[in-house]
Amino acid sequence: MNGAVGFGVFSIDGDEPRVGFRVGQGVLDLAASGFSSELSEPSLNAFLASGRRTWEAVLGRAVELVEGGHDVVPLEDATVHLPFEVADYVDFYSSLEHATNLGRLFRPDSDPLLPNWRHLPIGYHGRAGTVVVSGTPVVRPRGQSKEPDDSAPRFGPSRRLDIELELGFVVGVPSVLGTALPPAAFRDHVFGVVLVNDWSARDIQAWEYQPLGPFLGKSFATSISGWITPLALLEDRFVAPPVQDPEPLPHLRIAGNWALDIELEVELSDTVVSRTNARGLYWTMPQQLAHATSNGASVRTGDLFASGTISGPDTGSEGSLIELTRNGARPIGVGDGSTRTFLEDGDEVVLRGRAGNVELGEVRGTILPARP
Ligand code: MN
């Protein structure tokens, strides 16, 4: 198979949304193709909850139908909806390069990595209800901020609106409250991955984030792809993760190839401004899931766990504008000859991912002016 592949929810001409399997520019209507009852609902949640054997059987049959020339709906005729009801949303901070870059910018006078960073995947609980599907416009948030030289905080439209290039995983099978999931349980609970744009208002974030972490600087919108790429289609893209030093505590240890070799890019105003790869993430997805449940917290069908901004070690591989522009000090050029530090009204951002022949569904969003 070539092109973007994944499961999602679509509708035609205002009809009832239904579950579909996208391959390239076509969508197989699963509800109308003789699949089981989990696939007759206007959301993927029932299918996500059905577990690995059903996931594999449905994927196998869907691929067979598409490759056999079964009728598909042209993607351009489809309205793509949020593919699942997002239960809880967690955002991690798992890129060593990103955490180091941000630490330098936010806390210039101290060690960029805090002492806990190499011992656990740092994360925070985000706002599930404002996760939106690719193509949904993003209204510039208003908020409180205070620049270092200001004598008092102000309230108004964010002046440092940013993106975060991330890879998220989607939980299918829930866990039991009070029971931790070991890293090895990952494949029994997680269905697949989506690209995530964790829009971030840096000015709001910088003023609010201590001592309890990100809040309104992040919660106004988070965009995900309309198509979940099943882990089963990424089998040959699992590679060795970076060496972890010091070795994590036993409950976070897992051997094997758990990094995902997915090439990623960020396009801003028709210009690719960053290229990187998810395989460089320090903390792997099974470790993130194990950490999130290590206190006995349960996961639910539809839980979304995002990696944190994915930045590489090289110039031009950073997954956010605050890094690419050194906090606005070094503007970058875009296609029409203008430059950007942070996002301007009307800017369109597209995130893309490629894992060999399989593309991830893109994540697209355009900035609308702040509302009064
Ligand atoms: Mn983030």
Average pLDDT per block of 10 residues along the chain, 372 residues long: 92 96 97 89 96 97 96 98 98 98 90 96 98 98 95 98 98 98 98 98 96 96 98 98 97 97 97 98 98 98 98 97 97 93 98 97 98 93
Tens-place pLDDT, residues 99-109: 999 999 888 99
List 70, 81, 98, 291, catalytic entry? 98
Q: How far apart are CA 7 and CA 331, in angstroms?
A: 38
198 alpha carbon – ligand 1 mean position (Å): 5
Clarify whether 291 is annotated catalytic: no
Task: Show the DSSP H helices in 7-85 as ranges.
Answer: 45-49, 52-67
Q: Report the pLDDT value the prediction gives residue 107, as an integer from 0 to 100.
A: 87
32 alpha carbon – ligand 1 mean position (Å): 37
Is the Cβ–Cβ distance between 353 and 338 less than 8 Å? no
Nearest to 7 by CA among 49, 52, 43: 43
Q: How far apart are CA 44 and CA 273, in angstroms?
A: 33
b/e map of 99-128 (b: 16 or more CB within 10 Å)? bbbbbbebeeeeeeeeeebbebbbbbebbb
| Residue 229, SS3 per DSSP | strand
Q: Report the pLDDT value the prediction gives residue 169, as an integer from 0 to 100.
A: 99
85 alpha carbon – ligand 1 mean position (Å): 20
- Tokens representing residue 136 in the block: 């949904």
Q: Report the pLDDT value the prediction gives residue 224, as an integer from 0 to 100.
A: 99
Q: Report the pLDDT value the prediction gives residue 43, as an integer from 0 to 100.
A: 96
278 alpha carbon – ligand 1 mean position (Å): 14
- Whole-angstrom CA distances from 186 to 100, 244, 252, 271, 371 are 28, 19, 12, 36, 42
For each of the domains in the chain, give its residue range(s) and CATH number, in order of start.
4-81 (2.30.30.230), 89-368 (3.90.850.10)
245 alpha carbon – ligand 1 mean position (Å): 23
Phi, psi for residue 237 in degrees, rounded to 5: -105, 0
The 3-class SS string of 258-305 reads CEECCEEEEEECCEEEEEEEHHHCCCCHHHHHHHHHCCCCCCCCCCEE
214 alpha carbon – ligand 1 mean position (Å): 9
Check the CA dihedral 305-308-313-318 and report its sign.
positive
Tens-place pLDDT, residues 296-310: 999 999 999 999 999
